[in-house]
Structure 1
Amino acid sequence: MSTTHLLYLHGFRSSPQSAKARVMARHVAQRHPGVTWWAPQLPPSPRAAMDGILAGIRDWPRDRIAVVGSSLGGFYATHVAAATGCRAVLLNPAVHPERDLARYVGDQTLWHSPEDHFFFRPEYIEELRLLQAGPLPHPERCMAVVAKGDEVLDWREMTARYPGSPLRLIEGGDHALSDFETAHLDAVVAFLQLTG
């Protein structure tokens, strides 16, 4: 069944203004204008982020939802996919953010607007731990796009996290997937089965 509602979840210290989010938004607007697109600015609290995400998609048709998540957004997208059974694309997804983000407790800025600050609180680590989804009920509905050259996350952990899922493993590359539009967008869009 084709996707009519698409959710995009950005990574840590990122925003809906990230390069990949803008590429996806432009593609959906130009090629799939009938698809409902939502890329929320996520709050620093993982629990608040997930509560807002699930509230935002509550009235979406369950069998026509898909989600794309990058880095920490990939971790959140995994949780959404486990909760709803929806199709998901995970771009260099965070696998153990409760471990990896512990060193970022404190004042942080956004990549795309360094003048914007937020405080990453110690209790957010426990919130991340509680959001770990466990094995996916429908691994075939989740595609992981993983770059071996990711300078932030370990590609081996990312690939091991999604057994039974289609995997697009990139030799080289980087955490941002700088070649997303030219090298990966078509494969992502094909997997999402967007309507229109």
Structure 2
Amino acid sequence: MFLYIHGFLSSSQSSKAQYLKQWLQQQGRADEWLCPDLSPNPEKAIQQLRALIINCKQPLKLVGSSLGGFYATILSEEFNLKAVAINPAVTPHLLLKDKIGVHKAWHCDENISFTQQDVNALKAMDVQMIKHPDNLLLMIEKGDEVLDYRLALDLYKDCNQMIFNGGDHRFSRFEQLLSFIDQF
């Protein structure tokens, strides 16, 4: 069972979430896909994800991108789960502090409010060290125009890693690596 965790302002309609869903359907495994539309409030989002993990009757593998990679890392450590962190936000409280305000969501017409309390919540969740590095696979593209990939290299230094030159924040190789992600 895969729990795909989308990033900031994104949703279950993100391209990577949909690629994973379609790939699982092609494998005859459509029932192995979970991807909730998360609250923009980090505390509510992490609680949504914890509840899904606790209530899931099957073994879970987490796959998260950007802010979703941050959440996947937290939950991997907390629940001792395998996780794939794709171009993860390492210090989202610093990255998103300039995003305080109202934003249009990427996949719908909904306006999303992001506050200083949300920034503070992300700072309180900050991951200083990975305690179970064998559970994590870091996948980064150095061409990420949003995040500094070197921060991820430092935090995930003892984890499994796939590092690619070029690419972008969207992680352009995702579809090509679905079988590898499945095997991790």
Q: TM-score, normalised by structure 2?
A: 0.94
Deviations 1:117-167 (A, max 9, x none): 111011001110111233222101100100100000001111111121111
Question: Structure 1 unaligned runs (5+)?
Answer: 192-196
- Alignment partner of 1:100 out of 92, 95, 106: 95
Q: Answer yes or no: is the 8 Å Cα contact 1:98–1:126 preserved in 2.
A: yes
- Number of aligned residues: 184
CA drift at 1:59: 2.4
**Alignment partner of 1:155 is 2:159:** no
**Alignment partner of 1:79 is 2:74:** yes
Q: How far, CA to CA, are the matches of 2:26 and 2:143 in structure 1?
A: 31
- Please tell me the residue identity of whatever aligns with 1:147: E
Written as runs of structure 1 = structure 2, the 5 A alignment for 1:29-40 is 29-33=25-29, 36-40=32-36
Let me know the Cα RMSD of the aligned residues.
1.5
Q: How far, CA to CA, are the matches of 1:41 and 1:61 in structure 2?
A: 20
- Please tell me the residue identity of whatever aligns with 2:67: L
Who is 2:175 aligned against? 181
- Bigger relative contact order (CA 8 A; separation at least 6): 1
Who is 2:23 aligned against? 27
Q: How far, CA to CA, are the matches of 1:67 and 1:32 in structure 2?
A: 19
Which secondary structure state, in structure 2, belongs to the residue aligned with residue 24 of structure 1? helix
1:104–1:172 Cα change, 3 Å = same
Q: Answer yes or no: is the 8 Å Cα contact 1:70–1:92 preserved in 2.
A: yes
CA drift at 1:24: 0.5
Percent of matched pairs sharing the same residue: 35
Written as runs of structure 1 = structure 2, the 5 A alignment for 1:1-196 is 5-33=1-29, 36-60=32-56, 64-113=59-108, 115-182=109-176, 184-191=177-184
